[in-house]
Structure 1
Amino acid sequence: MEDVMRIDSLHPVISARLMVVDVDATLRNAALSFSNPAIGLVVVCHGSGEAAGVLSKSDLVRHLANSGSAEATVSTLMSRSIVSCGPEDDVHSVWQTMVAQRLQNIPVLGAGSKPLGILDIRDAMKALFEQEELQERLLANYIGGIGYQ
């Protein structure tokens, strides 16, 4: 049986990429969140902390490049249909969803749609690759008579 790697095993990485803005924040305010190169997606939340939508860096840049107002609220530009995953989800399944839907980032939402982090597709690929490498090494050691270590 194949080992399942859960999203929450990547907690340090996904929580470091989490950036949250309020639904009433301006796009200028959201742009400040994107000044960190590790941030590609912000989660837009209601005052209660529940996710209301997401805003990608590329959507914001496209808006501003077309002379859109920087003072408009993020709620005017955010995507309300959130493709997300949960902490118990399998990294491989989430990665497949991201590839199929051409998503660079996906929010990780916990109970009550509270944002826990952002999974970047590169982080998912790195984790899957490292898991595969480890399994191959264990198998090679076992076959080589070294046994599991």
Structure 2
Amino acid sequence: MLIEALLKSKAVPGVITIAGDTPVAEAVAEMNRHHIGAVLVVDREKQLLGILSERDVLRHFTECARGLTAEKIMTPRSRLIIGHRDDTVEYAMRVFTNNKIRHLPVLEGDRIIGIVSIGDALKAHLESLEHDNKMLEDYVTGASLVID
């Protein structure tokens, strides 16, 4: 399965973004409101600046009380691993595992087209395995045969 198909199948389409000068407390409230673990940080032209994740907030928790903004603790664009619509879900799973990350922004050129979480990838992979297993069971038992 390609990332493009996974993005189309997500229960909550689109991407939640915030400005770099958004206070961390507001960013956390936004993540809670949407039940997500990360938000993309963008500039006024909606160009990706970085990602703010739960881990970023926890890493800087004691500093957050002093009114930090998202851009002060986000993972910057220069350190992000970016996904593309024609990447496979299996590739994304390897990226998550090898880099110990949970979110993969998906870009087309400089335009943000989505974000994939490790949970999204795992769900899609399990559904694919279940489908393949059902097809094999049907083949072995003859359930898929049509007899005239």
**Normalization by structure 1: what TM-score?**
0.82
Is the Cα–Cα contact under 8 Å of residues 27 and 74 in structure 1 kept in the other structure?
yes
Where does 1:11-90 land on structure 2 (aligned, <5 Å)?
Answer: 11=7, 12-13=9-10, 15-16=12-13, 18-36=15-33, 38-66=35-63, 68-70=65-67, 72-80=68-76, 81-90=79-88
Counterpart of 1:109 (choices 107, 110, 115) is 107
Flag structure 2 segments of 5+ consecutive residues without an equivalent: none
% of aligned pairs identical? Answer: 24
- Aligned pair in 2 of structure 1 residues 67, 98: CA closer, same or farther (>3 Å)? closer
Matched residue, 2:4:
8
- Aligned pair in 2 of structure 1 residues 131, 84: CA closer, same or farther (>3 Å)? same
What is the root-mean-square deviation in Å for CA atoms of aligned residues? Answer: 2.3
Number of matched pairs: 143
Amino acid at match of 2:30: S
The residue matched to 2:75 in structure 1 has which SS?
coil
Residues 1-29 of structure 1: per-residue CA shift (max 9 Å, x gap): xxxx0112122427547320112222232
For residues 15 and 8 of structure 1, the distance between their equivalents in structure 2, rounded to whole angstroms, comes to 14
The residue matched to 2:18 in structure 1 has which SS?
strand
Is the Cα–Cα contact under 8 Å of residues 57 and 64 in structure 2 kept in the other structure?
no
Amino acid at match of 1:84: I
